[in-house]
Copies of this chain bind each other. A is one copy, B any other.
């Protein structure tokens, strides 16, 4: 396929029981993909993300997940993720298994997966209780002097879903602003869905090859979904909807409120286009940044 709809992409590459990584560190989180997964009623997913954020709070509330692989479980700058806490503390709607790392540990797991390594070594976890509750965190002796260093195993998601500013129809994807672990997650995964604000001509990509983060070579599906990362943000396209991150703290405090929101904004809508329309022009107006251009560099024409 390659260029396709979100409905098609999720139907084809996300199955019950799959290990799924929707990454993006604060920026470029594909809420559009998460909502479509909820709509299609996927179950028993193993959800991987450094920072589960609101998107996994919503997917857990909707009953899509059986397990979370993560390193920071909070609503950034606000507080708790209430739906996930309900699942963990009280098994609502269902018990949720936790596999917990630190940020660097998650980065190392993606790196090992992407680099085809049996493990990744990192200076963390010494003296911490984390290895006690997570048997996947181990230690190895350096062959140079025998020092002990922590290791994490490779993470190979069945599918990684990454949002970015733009790609061509072949899936060659360019991202700027925070890079998070988008590249490592993409290369670690068996299948890759790229979601972008704009599909651009191949020549736009080829004009700046150093800006290409994910090559079409490893991309299975490209979905064009403007505002698809809201309420997170896309550098240069729209701001983070901090007001919504605050509102979610109230919405999600009880099951009724959470369900009400899911009914209205996910189940009640056919697709992201409807979400964007329902959200309304003034919201997008409020979130639109001014312009700040990068300037251009010369690669040179060599004949």
This protein's copies in its complex: 2
B118 touching A208, Cβ below 8 Å: no
The residue from B122, B139, B300 contacting A290, defined by CB atoms under 8 A apart: B300
Instruction: Tell me whether A244 is interfacial, beta carbon within 8 Å.
Output: no
Q: Point out which of A144, A147, A153, A297 has the most chain B C-beta atoms below 10 A from its C-beta.
A: A297
A119 touching B144, Cβ below 8 Å: yes
A297 touching B117, Cβ below 8 Å: no
Residues of B within 8 A of A293 (CB): 207, 296-299
Instruction: Tell me whether A30 is interfacial, beta carbon within 8 Å.
Output: no
Instruction: Tell me whether A239 is interfacial, beta carbon within 8 Å.
Output: yes
Provide a sorted-by-A list of 29 A–B residue pairs whose CB atoms are within 8 angstroms. Answer: A117-B121, A117-B122, A118-B144, A118-B145, A118-B147, A119-B121, A119-B143, A138-B144, A140-B140, A140-B141, A140-B143, A142-B151, A143-B151, A165-B297, A176-B299, A179-B210, A207-B294, A207-B295, A211-B294, A235-B300, A239-B302, A290-B302, A291-B298, A292-B298, A292-B299, A292-B300, A293-B296, A295-B296, A296-B296
Complex: A297 Cα to B166 Cα, angstroms: 11
Instruction: Tell me whether A116 is interfacial, beta carbon within 8 Å.
Output: yes
B297 touching A236, Cβ below 8 Å: yes
Residues of B within 8 A of A298 (CB): 236-237, 291-294
Q: A119-B143, A147-B118, A179-B210 are in contact. Are A290 and B301 (CB under 8 A)?
A: yes
Interface string of A133-159 (1 = CB under 8 A from B): 000001111111101010101000000
Complex: A147 Cα to B140 Cα, angstroms: 13
The residue from B210, B236, B290, B302 contacting A289, defined by CB atoms under 8 A apart: B302
A143 touching B138, Cβ below 8 Å: yes
Instruction: Tell me whether A132 is interfacial, beta carbon within 8 Å.
Output: no
Given A174-B297, A177-B210; 17 other pairs, CB 8 A cutoff: A118-B147, A138-B143, A144-B151, A176-B210, A177-B299, A179-B210, A207-B295, A236-B300, A237-B300, A289-B300, A289-B301, A290-B301, A292-B299, A292-B300, A293-B297, A293-B298, A295-B296
Complex: A139 Cα to B142 Cα, angstroms: 10
Complex: A299 Cα to B174 Cα, angstroms: 13
Q: Point out which of A142, A207, A294 has the most chain B C-beta atoms below 10 A from its C-beta.
A: A294
The number of residues on chain A lying at the interface, defined by a beta carbon within 8 Å of a beta carbon of chain B, is: 48
A301 touching B292, Cβ below 8 Å: yes
Residues of B within 8 A of A296 (CB): 293-296
Instruction: Tell me whether A303 is interfacial, beta carbon within 8 Å.
Output: yes
Instruction: Tell me whether A246 is interfacial, beta carbon within 8 Å.
Output: no
Complex: A121 Cα to B144 Cα, angstroms: 12
Residues of B within 8 A of A237 (CB): 298, 300
Complex interface residues of chain A between 275 and 290 (CB less than 8 A to chain B)? 289-290
Interface string of A159-186 (1 = CB under 8 A from B): 0000001000000001011010000000
